[in-house]
Amino acid sequence: MGNKRFTYLLFSAAILIMAVVSSCQKDDTATPPDSKTTVNADSSLMASPGNFLAASGTLEVKFNDSTYTFDAAHDSIAFINVHVDSKTNYFGITAINKNHSMSFGISSLGYANSNINSNVAGGQFLLSTDAQKPAMQLSLSKYAQNSDIGSISLDSYNQGSQLAKGTFITFLAKDDKANSPYFRVEGSFDLKLK
């Protein structure tokens, strides 16, 4: 259980690092990043090919009768692949809005590929008006109330100008306690390299 928790924390840290790095790249107005540039935050942690910053497209997150939209034209959305060791691989999407008041990340164990449906391995959704204190923080808890914690469906991945297209559903909690209620979070993404 401790090793699984460590892997989850490692991947969550990777998602957060990717979001920060990609948001800094979007804020740089001197030269826009090449959409096929690998987005690596720390070479010892993220030395992995296949990490892309979306050039266009959207990520929609639905929670509690509200829809939150990240638009790659203004916000930073990255598709990441993380290789922890020779047997452990993750893929996922991480996003942060231009104002740094909203971020989302979701991941799955395994390799990204077209036409797959894979179980969720990690997830986090933050809304804030102050970067130092999130107004709302939801994350995947180690105390899952049932065995179904969600899935990511990839309809297409890295085909032509299409970076990734698909849907997801997961169940996130406000804190990591055994009796915390879970909230259904679902959405879709249609991300392009151009």
Cα 129 to chain centroid distance, Å, stands at 20
Number of domains in the chain: 1
Where in the sequence is the domain holding 164, given as residue range(s)?
A: 2-192
Question: At residue 117, does pLDDT exceed 90?
Answer: yes
pLDDT digits (tens, 9 = 90+) for 67-110: 999 999 999 999 999 888 888 899 999 999 998 899 999 999 99
Residue 182, both tokens? 């879970």
Question: At residue 2, does pLDDT exceed 80?
Answer: no
For 71-80, 113-122, 132-141, which range has the lowest pLDDT when averaged over its residues?
132-141
Q: What is the dihedral of CA 46, 168, 65, 67, to 10 degrees?
A: 50
Q: What are the DSSP E strand ranges found in 6-147?
A: 52-53, 56-63, 66-71, 76-83, 89-96, 102-109, 116-127, 136-139
85 contact partners, CB below 8 Å, separation of at least 6: none
